[in-house]
Amino acid sequence: MTTRSGFCCFVGRPNAGKSTLTNALVGDKIVITSDKPQTTRHAVRGILTRPDAQLILVDTPGLHRPRTLLGERLNDVVRSTLAEVDVVGFCVPADQRIGPGDRYIAEELKQISAPVVAIVTKLDTVAKTKVAEQLIAISQLGEFADIVPVSAAKGEQVDVLADVLIGHLPEGPMLYPQDVITDNDVETRVAELVREAALEGVRDELPHSIAVTIDEIRRRESGLQEVFATIHLERDSQKGIVIGPGGARLKKIGTTARGGIEALLGERVHLALHVAVERDWQRDPKKLDRLGF
């Protein structure tokens, strides 16, 4: 039997549904999701393996006009990824009008050699007439190899999209073992789960300012797994928001994150969170390097 294998990258403005789509295609939560822009900061590989194919999904930050050094580095991640993949999925949400951000990305995509599949996401959030309008609007942005509407949340058309993307992959052997769904290490996934919990319900000015590092993962003599993590912020005023009155908000972050970490590790976990201020880390090259960007 002939097999196909290769890499696919989803691009789209922040909040276009790329991470949710990656999770839906892989069938497991490997990428954190949030309604805050720039949730994704690392190129995460999710791996969809079928008897006839292996589709390796590279989830990137939203391509956008950068305002900080962090923003420039995130865009560099996207561009370097685009140069190396076999097919690109351009995500545009069905529930938002096509805007300058989408046009900016569409123009960038005209420079690449890989086939581009336009994907209308969040199909379940609007009426069918709206979906039809969006399909017409997206077709006017450029020449696309295919256009596919999907709802990752409801699982609608996800299999169809998988077939379309796999159809653009070259013939070749499987690149990863069949039981592997991501090549991200455990520490990175744990840090992302803490950051996802920290992003929930914070004010709009905070999301870009939150970074998480794992200080240590160790096992107690009793057998209990301990995770020590630091939430990095940019200003002292943000510390009070994250910790909350009497530490209530930090406790909620810990409870939420611990649930995800226990599901990931398959065992009980003690999570210890520390909050630190790294002034203007988004604009400081040394601090960005230290925090893994």
* Total-model pTM: 0.63
The burial of 89, by beta-carbon neighbours within 10 Å (0-12 exposed, 13-18 middle, 19 or more buried), is given as: buried
Mean pLDDT of 9-38: 76
Residue pair 93/42 in contact by the 8 Å Cβ criterion: no
- How far apart CA 119 and CA 50 sit, in angstroms, is 21
Residues 181-215 pLDDT 10s: 776 677 888 888 888 888 886 655 555 678 888 88
- How far apart CA 134 and CA 116 sit, in angstroms, is 17
Residues 25-52 pLDDT 10s: 988 776 656 555 554 445 557 889 999 9
Q: What is the mean pLDDT of the chain?
A: 84
Q: Residues spanned by CATH 3.40.50.300 within the chain?
A: 4-167
Q: Residues spanned by CATH 3.30.300.20 within the chain?
A: 186-290
Tokens describing residue 120: 């209308």
Tell me the C-alpha to C-alpha distance, in Å, between residue 133 and each of 2, 56, 94: 38, 31, 9
How do 211-219 and 225-233 pair as beta strands? antiparallel
Is residue 158 classed as helix, strand or coil in its secondary structure? helix
Q: Tell me: pLDDT of 58 over 50.
A: yes
Residue pair 139/116 in contact by the 8 Å Cβ criterion: no
pLDDT greater at residue 184 or residue 128:
128
Tokens describing residue 186: 């455990």
> What is the per-residue burial (b if ≥16 Cβ within 10 Å, else e) of 19-53?
bbbbbbbbeebbbbbbebebbbbbbbbbbbbeeeb
Q: What is the pLDDT of residue 123?
A: 92
According to CATH, the topology of domain 4-167 is Rossmann fold (3.40.50)
Tokens describing residue 203: 């004010």
Residues 97-121 pLDDT 10s: 999 989 989 998 998 889 999 999 9
CATH 2.30.30.90 fits 186-290, yes or no: no
pLDDT greater at residue 278 or residue 289:
278
Residues 248-279 pLDDT 10s: 889 999 999 999 888 888 889 999 999 988 88
Residues 168-177 pLDDT 10s: 999 999 888 8
The burial of 13, by beta-carbon neighbours within 10 Å (0-12 exposed, 13-18 middle, 19 or more buried), is given as: buried
- How far apart CA 60 and CA 241 sit, in angstroms, is 28
Residue pair 292/233 in contact by the 8 Å Cβ criterion: no
